[in-house]
Chains A and B, each alone.
Chain A
Amino acid sequence: MNFEFSEEQNMLRDQARSFLADKCSLRNVREILDGDAPFDAEAWRGMIELGWTGTAIPEEYGGIGMGYLELCVIAEELGRSLAPTPFSSSVYLFAEAILTAGSEEQKKQYLPGIATGATIGTLAVFEGPHAPSPKNIKAKAANGLLSGEKMPVPDGDVADFAVVAANSDAGLSLYIVDLSDDSVTAQSIKTLDPTRSHAKINLSETPGELLGNEGDGWNILGQVFNAAAVLFAFEQVGGAQAALDMGKEYAMTRFAFGRPIATFQAIKHKLVDMYVATELARSNCYYGAWALDTHSTELPIAAATCRISATDAYHESSKENIQIHGGMGFTWEFDCHLFYRRSKLLSVNLGGEPRWKDMLISRLEQASA
């Protein structure tokens, strides 16, 4: 049994952690929170230089072809640091969509730019405050031209390309769209988590290049979301651990009734519950990482399992971290809310937990049939 990350992978983790501590501390995150920049350009450049964007992209498409386990390691550290960069949109969503359904030419055309950081990609599925379905997606595609409104689109205001879900005569399909086309407007929108930028994108007769088979869009999205769920789950676990560490640190130093609040059981046991949830999620994430890395047929189940578990852990840990901080935790000035915001963003970005729980049970029903 070797259900662990290897020594090399742990070295990569150390390297990632120290890079992020240096170039992407919570101070940097707050600059994005309070400023106008959509992301931290310097941290982003640094990640590109370290080759992170090409971690799991095969060498033939310009990546460094390390693999998914390495990408998971990086994702956990990105989650811990709350990195305000378009990494996930470009790497977990756009690149995964191209890798999953792209033709050989499309892979050759789009992946090198992602790997080298020359371009930023994203995925445009949602159309407002409701769960998307193959039926209710209103964006239309006809004769290779797309029209419709997508929001929120993660990093839609900074991305060069997007994979867009739209309905054609054949049903829901995916298209690669060049967002610099004149027919496209992208407008930043205010969201719960200003440390990650989102946009409203309007397409009007915009040229789109079919990705995968026409009518196969929902199915491809399912596969992309499975891979992305594992990677985001690592971000969630990283964030949950960071919130737990922060709560612990504060509890040790804050005094009330003449003693550290960490001596009160209500606080100790709360921290233990955060720890237990985070450890269970971490273990499920390892399962997800293994399934992703080995292209296992268990991936759909593993992905849902680690996503649900990590969503719960991050929610628990980030909300109770605020509670442990008392009034301080409710201030803009303290960092607790950064984790709380991010935890909510990550719990809905691939669809909400009720839907994932339902999908998990459906997948288990299929597996047991």
Chain B
Amino acid sequence: MALPGESAAEAAAVLASSLESVLGSRANANRAFEILERLQAEDEEVILCAVRTCSRLFGALLERGELFVGQLPDEEASLQEGYSAEDKYKVWMRHRYNSCINCLVELMSHESFQVQELVLSTLMKFVDLEAKHPLMKAEWKGKICFPRELLKLVVASLIPVEADSSLLISQFQQYLEYDDVRFFAMKAVADNIGHVMQRMKEAPPPVYQQNVFSLISSISVPSRESEIANFLVKQAGNYEEWKVSKLKEHRLAFERMWLGFLKHKLPSSLYRKVLVILHDSILPHMNEPTLLIDFLTAAYDIGGAISLLALNGLFILIHQHNLEYPDFYKKLYSLIDPSIFHVKYRARFFSLADLFLSSSHLPAYLVAAFIKRLSRLALTAPPQALLMVIPFLCNLLRRHPACKVLVHRPSGPADLLEDPYVMDAEEPSESRALESSLWELQTLQNHYYPDVAKAAAAINQSLSLLEDDITELLDLSASELFDKELKKKTPTVPLEFEQVRGLFGQKNDIFAEHFLLE
């Protein structure tokens, strides 16, 4: 029997001997309790050893077919009913198997990652064996049985409500290669979300959502039906008729899973993560991408970086799925604020904005408002952003010749008291941008960085017909800029000729007035 003070070596010896005796003869079946007891031990080593023994024991039993197949009768009932001794043994053993699995599922939340990892692989081994030697009676001939219930337990334990389990999930990913495992896992996740949300009543814990996200973001549906051929289940049966081999079913499960996940309120960091992968790895795999409209429009209305990110998915819906989005450009216009030149998603936003503003059917006032707003905000931008936005504006001017009045107004009013452009107007049509001129770019001609000044000076001449290519400039970083400057070669280095008199000793030195040399 398992004693509290038992050492790991002793436990290992006991476990080995009981495994041998249980497998050796049915008379010693009771020794299985010794193994199961040790699953609840305190010592990590003992647990590990017990898990391994369980895996070997029930693995062997499953392979031998010594577990009861079919609807499992109650343990007490089976003893009284008229079962043969053989059946009684099998029922009893099956009950031990079930309690073992329950123990293992509980161990999935053990604090040691080593235990978790081993338990996960053991459970998946059982899934594998059960798929080969099903414990359910086939209802009709050719029906393929998959241990759905067991997988459901595994998935549920993979996404705990309290603890972060991203490491375990990354271990689980190898099993997602199998199309059937993936399919049933998706279904299990969808069910699990439903249950948990119901239980939690509108306040899902962020950790849980994080776990779910890390699990489901790693799931990707194959793009063609012919690719679905990698099954864990190896049974004689009609695979073609099987639900799992239908791409449509996969997509449906995928869609249900994601919609179930996105239905609930997400923390903003998760929001961003979802939006970053949305257009690339979620939208294309859905049966009905339009179902995401609500989610995307809600995200677009949030503002800030989340709106910027929602733009991409929204664009796909508008472009490929006939989404009618009223005030799209107004919204886009309001998205442009000073932070746009400083955020991480700058390149993404500008490549999309470039796309949105490339249509020649846009009214001139709209484009002019965009140009004017961007140029106004360029007054606060760092040089690497300026190097990108100035050619961007020039391209807009080229595409929409009606906007060229912004840089070339030969017969305008000679003297203006102020800029007619209204920065605060929500509506681009009320901004009076077409009456204005791009004084901002003229200002930037005095920028301290020579390349920016040069780029801004482009508006002094009439613009060339060919558009500038801005794709390379989109994600220019400050350090790249710096390195570029350092690499430039010059034959001579001009020097300061003013005689030096000390650290703060130059003519009209600002420092001398505010700092002390101490």
Chains A and B bind each other: no
A interface residue numbers (CB < 8 A to B): none
